[in-house]
Structure 1
Amino acid sequence: MMQGTRGMMRAVRGIGMLAGIALTLTMTGAVAQESGTKGAPLKIELNRLEPAGEACRTYMLVDNGRGPALKSLKVDLFAFDTEGVAQKRLAVELGPLQEKKTVVRLFDFTGLACPKVGRILLNDVLACEGGDASRETCLERIETATKTPAAFDR
């Protein structure tokens, strides 16, 4: 009987160890999936607007701090006036973006005075290249913010 009890105890310990290993593997997979770069946010901030002759110079802070490198990130932007009327449309290349890097990109909305800009809309992602990126996955990753009086959203 003593022999049977020891064997049973070993079997129970073995099952316990297997359950612990399985739980560890499951949790490791969940953490890896959650922290994976595929869904990492791509933060784009309207950081500054300044007059540049007949244009409004726009400073965009692009934070790819947790994401994979992108060869190209081309976005479609609309500038609206303070009355909410669309004024200018502009396609802007924000790439290339290095992995885990933040950059500032400048571009001008020609023929538009900065005080007249009430909102900038990220209308769409026109191109997104790098790794397994696509227009749709890049658009899903983008989070917008602003440090200006003008709203910036998608």
Structure 2
Amino acid sequence: MPVLAQEPPTFTLELNGAAETETGSCRLTYVASNQTGTELQRTAYEVAVFDADGAVTRLLVLEFGNLIDGKTKVLQFDLSGTPCPAISRIIVNDAAACAVDGAESGVCMQALTASSRTAIQFGI
């Protein structure tokens, strides 16, 4: 009987869009997909935002909330006072929250893959 290889758990986070708002802020659109094999009751990531010169301009927490296994969720975050061209890259610094069965878990960082469909680099 053949043994089927099990896919490793993944949590994909994609920077899907970056658009200027009417007030000159950058609106970032993220697509999060939980393929970890478990419900994530609370999910949040601390990210660092870099300017065009490579200097960190902000550390902030992006709250994704509850994500059931197999769920894809789209969220938008506005960076007030920061136009999109002023952002060169964003990195995931750490998981600010990752609750599984009511307890903190390391799966949110261990299973994380990050990518970007924008001119802004996005990674771990």
With structure 1 as the length reference, what TM-score do the two structures score? 0.71
Q: Do 1:75 and 1:125's aligned partners in 2 also have CA atoms closer than 8 Å?
A: yes
Question: Cα RMSD (Å) of the superposition?
Answer: 2.1
Q: Which has the higher contact order (CA 8 A, sep 6+)?
A: 2
Aligned residue runs from structure 1 range 75-114, under 5 A: 75-114=45-84
**CA distance, structure 1, for counterparts of residue 94 and residue 47 of structure 2:** 7
Counterpart of 1:40 in structure 2 is: 9
Q: Do 2:36 and 2:107's aligned partners in 1 also have CA atoms closer than 8 Å?
A: no
Structure number with higher helix proportion: 1
* Alignment length (residue pairs): 123
Render the CA deviation track for 1:89-129: whole Å, top value 9, x for unaligned.
21111121122111101111122110111000101101101
Q: Do 2:52 and 2:86's aligned partners in 1 also have CA atoms closer than 8 Å?
A: yes
**Greater CA drift, 126-135 or 46-55:** 126-135
5+ residue gaps, structure 2: none
**CA distance, structure 2, for counterparts of residue 133 and residue 59 of structure 1:** 28
| Segments of 4+ moved more than 6 angstroms | none
Structure number with higher strand proportion: 2
5+ residue gaps, structure 1: 1-23
Q: Do 1:126 and 1:135's aligned partners in 2 also have CA atoms closer than 8 Å?
A: no
Counterpart of 1:50 in structure 2 is: 19
